[in-house]
Chain A
Amino acid sequence: MAFGVYVHIPFCEVRCDYCDFATWTDRPHLIDDYVEACIGDLDQRKESGTVPPASSVFFGGGTPSMLPAEHLARILDAVDLAGDAEITVECNPDSVNADKLSIYRRAGVNRISLGVQSTVPHVLATLGRTHDRSNVERACAAVREAAIDSFNLDLIYGTPGESLDDWRRTLDDVLALEPGHLSAYALTVEAGTPLAARVGSSESPPPDDDDQALKYEIADQRLRSAGLDWYEISNFAADGNECRHNSLYWSGDDYLAVGCAGHGFTDGRRWWNVRRPEDYIARIESGRSPERGSETLSKEGRDDEALMLGLRTRRGILADAVAFAPAAALIDAGLLAAIDDRLRLTLSGRLVASEITARLVDFHQPVDPDLTSVD
């Protein structure tokens, strides 16, 4: 049974214009206390004796690479690891270097995820990113040099002003770096972000669904011919390079969250920590639980969720899990494929996964009223 630990690092040098994550640029002074709090949190959980060895650890953010590498290593030390655990650190191409990576490597980190987003300068500018293509190339070279097994590149498509050629160029540039794993996300304009304030005005139209659909199809085709096949809607990997940690989220396995704003899922209960780092620190220091809220799903909620998450993956869902008629209609429409006893989204199906999920979870058979009582 897989078990993961997610560690949230809520600090950034600058905030990207599209970002609505729990991250802050104005409180680096909290870093030391925060690291202690994460370690304290892990120690408390270990003392409670219910935490199995982790088969994966994921440092996400924020910008985990903003932490002094030794700090990150100390947090990792506090985690009880299973043999051959996958240990990922999200890094900003700007803030990785050989020294940092070699400390990571010694601490056990074996996977790096770089936020590239695009290699086209005007697209990066729209997103409010500070790096450029050469940073990315340098970062990838450094990862290889540090002998870290595998790395991922994150991309964003559908940014206002990004042409189809811009997107193709980004794909070509990143494929030239031969990553084993690639994530590609359609840009979502989140309310309250600087990007949201600009988008919708005349010079910056909102992302267009048809444009993003086309870009997804282009990516799917290019990545597949480069040997990176989809294994989840937004994730592509060479065989054996799938991210084990992220796969936990879709398979319904348990994971622990450490740090502010992290979400954990243990024993059928989903819970989330307080959002601000200072609150998290205060809670841990005073020996209280950092949990801000939780939910325990009903049977229906669990089933819906399993279907929703399962459908996002190449593995798909068991055909028996859904009603025949709606599934058959979706197969006829070319949106779903039946493979043995499982159902999997086709390329065009992946693009409308939400709609398909809604159809499969909530298909009402028409009910004939009692005709005999109609006079």
Chain B
Amino acid sequence: MIPLERLRAFSIISHVDHGKSTLADRMLEICGAVDARQMRAQYLDSMDLERERGITIKAQNVRLSYGDHVLQLIDTPGHVDFGYEVSRSLAACEGALLLVDASQGIEAQTLANTYLAVENDLSVVAAVNKIDLPAADPDRVSGEIERILGIGADEVLRISAKTGEGVHELLDAIVERVPPPTGDENAPLRALIFDSHYDAYRGVVSAVRVMDGVMRSGDALRFVQTGEDHVAEEIGSREPDQVPTAELGPGEVGYLIAGIKDVGQARVGETVTTPARPAEALEGYRDPLAMVFCGLYPVEGDAYADLREALEKLQLNDSSFTYEPETSSALGFGFRCGFLGLLHMEIVRERLEREYGLELVTTAPNVEYRANTRGGGVEVVDNPSALPSGSEIESVEEPFVRVTILTPSDYVGPLMDLCQSRRGEMKQMEYLSENRVELVYLMPLAEIVLDFFDRMKSRTRGYASLDYEPSGYRRSDLTKVDILLNGVPVDAFSAIVHRDRSYEYGRRMTDKLRELIPRQLFDVPIQAAIGGRIIARETVKAKRKDVIAKCYGGDVTRKRKLLERQKEGKRRMKQVGSVEVPQEAFVAALRLEE
């Protein structure tokens, strides 16, 4: 066991692209954990997706020797969808390293996580990164950190993770300023799981932080939330390769393999103790909460069984998404899936396509509504087409979120317009510095789910950042808009929108679909309807002629290749009744012009 006073555990809080993974790489190098030959960029991001997108999805941890001290670094996800995972990672630490890009300044998500760290009594060490870049303005950014978080500007370290400048000093500051963990090795075992992933050979590998007591290899363990007992088959630390040990004492961060086959049995936030001397659960556990839903359908109907199998396997690795079989008259057999947020949805879809070779049709994302029926019941609606008809409903409620936006002051006007157009209600506006503003809005989550982020970015040239947290359900004047192709309602196109904007929505959707659906052998009317009433109509005119010119000896091969491409194109279309609809049409709602 490592004496408490030699241990330090800290998380890095940082915005996407502010250099967290690069800094982790440098720390690994300085502490000799990875030799230069093995070094690759973003060492800790193990998924291809993470490396490509430059984001961290899964929390990672690594144990580093720095002088007499053992540093335990926990690399946390950096996106609003994974806020809960971040909070559990923070709960495993005594310190947080706030890393801010020296030209960009602090971002909303980072700020929210830093507040969370402060609330959890973590010591915050702040550093501005990328000081080697010409656009760097460390004075301004340090001043901003001082004003917003009360950390003295002179205490803010200045580093370049890329060149390594200042990283030694930063490690020294962590040793000095982050307190060692506390914990009683004689108390009953209490360990926190702050991440779990599924390994095809070992089963579930969990990242744990021991709070009290000692976890020993071979011990019988009890998982408090699930109530299940498992044996600690192997415990150890990541340095960054897994190094088995006999025991993990208080304050130590390590990994645990306990013969579990499904990450749902070892969820983030779970408390591990022993059946022999059970301890109370640690605070703060909660079940993952799906916020965003969409339908996932195989392009080819016969790939349904493959999709189901892929979802089962993926869920072993990520217990925070949900899926249930559903049938769409337009798309056939598929699944209604729930996600923590939009990025999470994209990641799952991309992994299904990439790791399992599936071709999928995705429907536009939506939130979960509550319909209060006239009979006094409540129906939970996670698929817009399932909303009961107007006469059966007394009212509809939708989830709201409290949205925090940090922006350069130049963009306040356009952002206020945007929020207002998205039914936002301003709660607060505060100048954090002369040219940075914090805006707080209460807004329906549904408005965020539909391309809010992209709109915000384009209106602020990428400078504004966003964070949000759930803020309960509220009654709204909502109505269902159906889309009919060739006179037949297409369930996958149904949407729930605010009544005031339903006409406009119908008009825009029909217009967009007219663009997206290619001309076919007959006219295709596209209509938008509320109840039985048509509110908008467009027509895709029939194709009168295609390539018919000559076809002699030298043309045959070319013609046949054209035919093969046409066949291929048709495979990517979904046959809805007699109409061929391209995949992108099903997410047309995300691409409506403002």
Across the interface, do A358 and B554 meet the contact criterion of CB distance under 8 Å?
A: no
Q: Is the CB of B560 within 8 A of A304?
A: yes
A295 to B557, CA, bound (A): 9
Is A231 in contact with chain B by the CB < 8 A criterion? Answer: no
Instruction: Kindly state whether residue B553 has any CB partner on chain A within 8 Å.
Output: yes
A212 contacts B545, C-beta separation under 8 Å: yes
Map CB proximity to A onto B528-569 as digits: 1 under 8 Å, 0 otherwise.
000000000000000111111111111011011011101100
Question: How many angstroms from the CA of A184 to the CA of B542 in the assembled complex?
Answer: 23
In the complex, the answer to whether B551 meets A358 with C-beta atoms within 8 Å is: no
Given A263-B557, A364-B300, A367-B301, the answer on whether A213 and B570 have CB atoms closer than 8 Å is no
- Which chain B residues border A304 with CB–CB below 8 Å? 560, 563-564
Q: Would you call B305 an interface residue if the criterion is a C-beta within 8 Å of the partner chain's C-beta atoms?
A: yes
Instruction: Give the interface segment out of A125-133, A161-169, A277-285, A347-355.
Output: A347-355
The residue from B302, B333, B546, B575 contacting A355, defined by CB atoms under 8 A apart = B546
A367 CA / B571 CA spacing, docked (Å): 14
Contact of B552 among A213, A216, A246, A261 (CB under 8 A): A246
A234 CB contact (under 8 Å) in B332, B521, B522, B549: B549
Q: Does B578 contact A (CB under 8 A)?
A: yes
The reply to whether the CB of A185 lies closer than 8 angstroms to some CB of chain B is yes
Question: In the bound complex, how far is the Cα of B550 from the Cα of A232, in angstroms?
Answer: 10
User: B544 touching A210 by the CB < 8 A rule?
Assistant: yes
Q: Give complex CA distance A304, B547 in Å.
A: 17
The reply to whether B562 and A354 form a contact with Cβ atoms under 8 Å apart is yes
- Interface contact B549-A265, CB-CB below 8 Å: no
Q: Which of B332, B548, B556, B563 contacts A358 (CB 8 A)?
A: B563
With A304-B563, A305-B560, A368-B301 known as contacts, the answer to whether A272 contacts B546 (CB < 8 A) is no
On whether the beta carbons of A249 and B552 are closer than 8 Å, the reply is yes
In the complex, residue of chain B having the shortest beta-carbon distance to the beta carbon of A183: B550
Q: Does B325 contact A (CB under 8 A)?
A: yes
Establish whether residues A362 and B546, one from each chain, have CB atoms under 8 Å apart when the complex forms.
no
| B567 and A262 within 8 A (CB) | no
Interface residues on B, range: 35 or more
CA distance A308 to B564 in the complex (A): 11
Docked Cα-Cα span, A231 to B59, in Å, equals 70
Q: Cβ of B567 and Cβ of A361 under 8 Å apart?
A: yes
In this complex, what residue of B is CB-closest to A358?
A: B566
List the B side residues contacting A240 at CB < 8 Å.
none
Least CB distance from B454 to A in Å reads 32
Tell me the complex Cα distance, A358–B200, Å.
43
Chain B residues with CB under 8 A of A312: 551
- Cβ-defined contact, A353 with B546, below 8 A: yes
B563 contacts across to A, CB distance below 8 A? 304, 308, 354, 357-358, 361
Asked if B304 CB lies within 8 Å of chain A CBs, one says yes
Q: Which of B545, B557, B560 counts the most chain A CB atoms within 10 A? A: B545
Residues of chain B from 504 to 534 with CB closer than 8 A to chain A in the complex: 521-522
**A352 to B556, alpha carbons, bound, how many Å?**
17
- The residue that B522 contacts in the complex, of A187, A308, A333, A366, with Cβ under 8 A, is A333
Q: A367 to chain B: which residues have CB within 8 Å?
A: 300-302
B548/A233 in contact, CB under 8 A: yes
Which residues of A sit under 8 angstroms from B304, Cβ to Cβ? 369
**What's the Cα separation between A109 and B419 when bound, in Å?**
80
Are B553 and A265 neighbours in the complex by a CB distance under 8 Å?
A: yes
Interface residues of B in 301-334 (CB under 8 A from A): 301-302, 304-305, 308, 325, 332-333
Identify the 6 closest CB pairs spanning chains A and B, nearest first. A369-B304, A213-B544, A213-B545, A367-B302, A358-B566, A362-B567
| Interface residues of A, Cβ cutoff 8 Å to B | 6, 183, 185-188, 209-210, 212-213, 216, 232-234, 246, 249-250, 255, 257, 261-265, 270, 272, 295, 301, 304-305, 308-309, 312, 329-330, 333, 335, 348, 350-359, 361-362, 364, 366-370, 373-375
